[in-house]
Amino acid sequence: MSAKSEELYDRALDLIQAGQVAEGLHTIEESLMEDAEDALTWRLYAVTLTAIGRQEDAAAAMQKAQAFGLDDVDGLLMKAAEAQVAGDFEAAISRFEDALELDGGRYELWAAYALALLQAGYNKDALESSEKAISLGADEAQAWYARGRVLRLTGDMQAALSAFGRAVELDSKIPVAWHERGMVQVELGDHAAATESFERVLELQPDDPAARQALEIVRGDRD
């Protein structure tokens, strides 16, 4: 996987885990344009296509994934993502734990595991796992994004703001991190800063309906 395709893959996974499936699908396709032989990206593409009901396309994508090959850890990661899309968070957690037994030194596994734990309501474990992700990937935007999301959804807004700030400092082209940062700024009553964050999302993704709606609401509150 090239550096560019890896960046796009990570961004797509963040989008999908945040529930922004259409945006994630578009980003996966961008990644495949960069590297059309990456098995992991084809598997994620198959999972995402399944989620939106494109079964024939999903089957074709899965054939590509199998043709290019997946290692055991990446295969488990994709099974976890598939379970998350289906709403089976307990199964997702189990797959992540299997993957971590094989390779516990990958920050991205801990970040994804933290988000799955959060979805299942295991807030304390999610906080601990997101902290582990940071310890392994202190200079990785994806780790800080996961940490920020866990902190926001467990109610620690100031710490979440700091985490999302670090995420966009490391990679200013992550729309979900800007969006989450804006949501925190709204919660903290800083609507001017929130406006800037949502505007940044729309610079990166002009057709993002959630960011556009959020921006309209914030501007309305300011008026």
pLDDT tens digits in sequence order for the chain, 223 residues long? 677 888 888 888 878 777 777 788 888 999 999 888 888 888 888 877 866 667 788 888 888 887 877 667 777 877 887 787 778 889 999 999 999 998 899 898 899 899 899 989 999 999 999 999 999 999 998 899 999 999 999 999 999 999 999 999 998 988 889 999 999 999 999 999 999 999 999 998 888 888 899 999 898 865 5
Q: Spell out the alpha helix ranges (H) of 86-155.
A: 89-102, 107-119, 123-136, 141-153
The pLDDT assigned to 221 comes to: 63
d(CA 218, CA 194): 7
- In this structure, CATH architecture of domain 1-87: Alpha Horseshoe (1.25)
Where do the domains of the chain lie? 1-87
Letter for the amino acid at 203? E
How confident is the model at residue 62, as a pLDDT? 81
Look at residue 83 in the predicted model and tell me its pLDDT.
83
User: What pLDDT sits at residue 200?
Assistant: 94
For residues 168-199, one letter each, b for 16 or more C-beta atoms within 10 angstroms of the residue's C-beta and e for the rest, the string is bebbeebbbbbbbbbbbbbeeebbebbbebbe
> What's the pLDDT at 23?
83
Per-residue pLDDT at 1: 65
